[in-house]
Amino acid sequence: MWGVYFCSPRESLINRMSLTKPVLRPPVAAIRNFMVLLLLVLLVVLTVPSAPAQQVDTDPLNHDPLVREGFAYFYNMNYVAALGIFRRVQASHPNDPIATDYILYVTIFQEMFRLDLLDTTFYAHDGFLTGKHTVVEDPKVRDEVRDLTQKVFDQADAELSRNPNDVNALFARGWGRSLEAVYVGLVERGFVSALKLALGAKNDSEKALQLDPNYVDAKLVVGVYQYVVGSLPFAFKLLIGIAGIHGSKAEGLRTLQDAADRGVITSVEARTVMALFLRREAKYQQALAINESLVSEYPHDFLFCLERANLTKDSGDGMKAIGLYRQVISDAKRSGYFASAHVELAYFGLGDTLRGQHLYPESVQAFRQGAVQPTTSPELKLRCLLAAGEVYDLMHQYDQARQQFQAVLAGGANTSQGELARKYMDSPYRAH
């Protein structure tokens, strides 16, 4: 996997990663497919970790009641309260890298939620890599993420300099690297840098497991690595095998299942990763079974409820999905039901599903509602307007369709949605 290289004016990735065996250049599409899997599954989705089925080894701080309270707020998407608690934890443990990880964790996912980067539909296919997805990075958050990650590395390295076999420090450093990889890859779209960080996270996690096989939380990153490498095309696996990189989908799933069953702070994350893999493989019923258990445990998690509707839609049960999307929208309007919600994501999914059922008037209404929510991002607004125009075109209401396409062009003529709107102005959507 990391034995491949990209040529740049100054140096190749293979040199930057200290690999010495030259291999053939793999197809760009294969690299993109690999990156979408690796980066996304390192992304920790907002869910509450379950208690492990049996005692396993972990950093003692993970069991601290104040830490558990902080996670409870975080998983309910109350980021301000979670940060307040985790800063208190860090103040009591100023040199502990995992205490700094907690703050890094919340900071990154608060920003990703703001940027609409926590909707798994965005990652179900590879469009986010190949499309023109606009992300407006907050410089203040960027600097804070960099400061926090450097602090994690410095604190972990200090502990490892005293004891190279400090499993807690290895895990904390690996977790910090995986979180930074998510931010760099998905927010900054620095895929090469993110890939290098992901490799470091995997190496730290593997070493932690070599030293302590019962440190189950470390199996999340290792299982992801095994599954992703095992999922690559056969020819690509032959190429990277030259560098000694091997993987197995079956072994990856077994490793992730153990993390799901026994992980202290990665149990639900492992299940979420498995559901995402299954969704990408179109194994919707298996993914739904995992998701249903999570929604049952955490019914006030907006993202889990939204994902249930998404998976039901993808499985082909359109009418049931419509009911689930409407339920999410209804619950989001109830005071305090969801601590945070981007209801526009549910409106877009509802509009898409209604279109699939040929319920065009309702579909247009849903798309237009999605475009005007106060939390709707500029890109999602364009997607909603474009989709509304497409459905108007299917209804033969051409003037209304052109109005929607013109609104897209006014809001983003140089976006991928703008390109499609321009095309549909010349050639109706129904003809494509």
Residue ranges of alpha helices (H) inside 28-64 are: 28-42
Average pLDDT over residues 97-123: 89
Average pLDDT over residues 365-386: 95
**CB-based contact 115:376 (threshold 8 Å):** no
Give the rounded percent of residues in the chain with a pLDDT score beyond 90. Answer: 54
Mean pLDDT is highest, among 96-110, 267-281, 297-311, for: 96-110
Higher-pLDDT residue of 205, 227: 205
The tokens describing 332, both together, are 């989001």
Classify residue 3 as exposed, middle or buried by CB count within 10 Å of its CB (0-12, 13-18, 19+). buried
**Residue 220 CB partners (closer than 8 Å, separation 6+):** 205, 256, 259, 263, 266, 269, 270, 273
Task: Look at residues 130, 125, 127, 131 and name the one whose alpha carbon lies nearest to residue 279.
Answer: 125
Per-residue pLDDT at 428: 78
Average pLDDT over residues 15-25: 40
Rounded to a whole number of angstroms, the CA Rg of the chain reads: 22
Classify residue 373 as exposed, middle or buried by CB count within 10 Å of its CB (0-12, 13-18, 19+). buried
Per-residue pLDDT at 54: 60
Average pLDDT over residues 21-33: 49
Higher-pLDDT residue of 195, 263: 263
Q: Answer whether residue 168 shows pLDDT above 80.
A: yes
Q: Answer whether residue 234 shows pLDDT above 90.
A: no
Task: Write down the pTM of the prediction.
Answer: 0.80
User: At 159, phi and psi to the nearest 5?
Assistant: -70, -40
Helix %, strand %, coil % for the chain, to 5? 70, 0, 30
Q: What is the spatial distance between Cα 169 and Cα 163, in angstroms, rounded to a whole number?
A: 9
What letter does residue 187 receive in the DSSP assignment?
I
Per-residue pLDDT at 23: 43
Q: How confident is the model at residue 32 (pLDDT cuts 50, 70, 90)?
A: low
Poorest-pLDDT segment among 106-120, 247-261, 312-326, 332-346: 247-261
Q: What is the spatial distance between Cα 173 and Cα 145, in angstroms, rounded to a whole number?
A: 14
Q: Answer whether residue 17 shows pLDDT above 50.
A: no
Q: Which amino acid is at 321?
A: A
